[in-house]
Structure 1
Amino acid sequence: MTIQYQINTPISADQFIDLLRRSTLGERRPIDDRECMEGMVNNSNLLVTAWDGDQLVGVARSMTDFHYACYLSDLAVDQNYQRQGIGKQLQILTQQQLGRHCKLILIAAPAANAYYGRIGYTHHPRCWILDREQTL
């Protein structure tokens, strides 16, 4: 098996949804809301993907200014391909697209919390989320 990595190669919402289902991330994403999923794919400005032949097996989906902050919104690897370094390589390739001062920022899934510390991320307790249903 040779995994090929690509930068900003377009993927369809169907490919993205299928991968999320094959990873643990599908449980925490609105995979039944087609419009939302299409928007997530189409409006990301940095997409790093991992492929086994023509099958999408990993994705790092980000929004960034490329100079100061990069929000790594989705890091998903097919469960059958996990623990092979694909997720780490997706992050390395994402980071390589960014300027030297740019930080990767993410919100970890509970099951992945320990993973990020092991690969060099620093935990910051300050994160605030305002759901759309909330009013200011």
Structure 2
Amino acid sequence: MPIAYHLDRIPTAEQVIDLYLSAGLERPTHDAPRIAQMYANSNLVATAWDGPLLVGVSRALTDFCFCCYLSDLAVRDEYKHQGIGKQLLALTKEKAGPGSTLMLRAAQEAMAYYPKLGMETMTDGFLIRREH
């Protein structure tokens, strides 16, 4: 069965947690209400499905005209290296619009992955870390 991509299908917190655990993405997987809130408050979510199984997700916050912050890009471990992350990124960028800059903060172990998708490394960023 081919992978189906959606921009209008929000997964449940349980589906997201299962995906994050498989993908090795460090998120508050012990806190389903927080995961649900993360998705409820995101305005651009692209998903990849193998039948009923969530195999990939891109979660972003955007104004659809200038800036798009890609909060999460995750692919289930056994589905990696099939172009799913690249397709999710392309869908996110397309939906955010040609005038939007797409940016993200990468985990150290993923730093080599994003340039392969055509992303540039940024050195001009700042952050205030979350309290919990």
TM-score > 0.5 by shorter chain: yes
Segments of structure 1 that go 5 or more residues without pairing to the other structure are none
Whole-angstrom CA distance in 2 between matches of 1:91 and 1:75: 8
The answer to whether the Cα contact below 8 Å between 1:46 and 1:63 also exists between their aligned partners in 2 is yes
Aligned residues: 132
Whole-angstrom CA distance in 2 between matches of 1:87 and 1:107: 15
TM-score, normalised to structure 2, is: 0.94
Moved more, 116-125 or 86-95: 116-125
Whole-angstrom CA distance in 1 between matches of 2:20 and 2:104: 17
Secondary structure of 1:66's aligned partner: coil
* Counterpart pick for 1:105 among 103, 106, 113: 103
Whole-angstrom CA distance in 1 between matches of 2:29 and 2:127: 20
Secondary structure of 2:122's aligned partner: coil
Question: In the alignment, which residue of structure 1 is the partner of 2:18?
Answer: 18
Question: In the alignment, which residue of structure 2 is the partner of 1:37?
Answer: 35
| AA partner of residue 16 (structure 2) | F
The answer to whether the Cα contact below 8 Å between 1:68 and 1:103 also exists between their aligned partners in 2 is yes
Runs of 4+ in 1 over 3 A off after TM superposition: none
The answer to whether the Cα contact below 8 Å between 2:57 and 2:73 also exists between their aligned partners in 1 is yes
Q: CA shift at 1:127, angstroms?
A: 2.2
Residue 85 (structure 1) aligned with residue 122 (structure 2) = no
Q: 1:21 to 1:132 in 2, by over 3 A?
A: closer
Q: CA shift at 1:35, angstroms?
A: 2.5
TM-score, normalised to structure 1, is: 0.91
Secondary structure of 1:97's aligned partner: helix
The answer to whether the Cα contact below 8 Å between 2:13 and 2:33 also exists between their aligned partners in 1 is no
1:7-42: per-residue Cα shift (whole Å, max 9, x none)? 0312111111111011120xx211112221111111
RMSD in angstroms over aligned alpha carbons?
A: 1.4
The answer to whether the Cα contact below 8 Å between 2:2 and 2:50 also exists between their aligned partners in 1 is yes
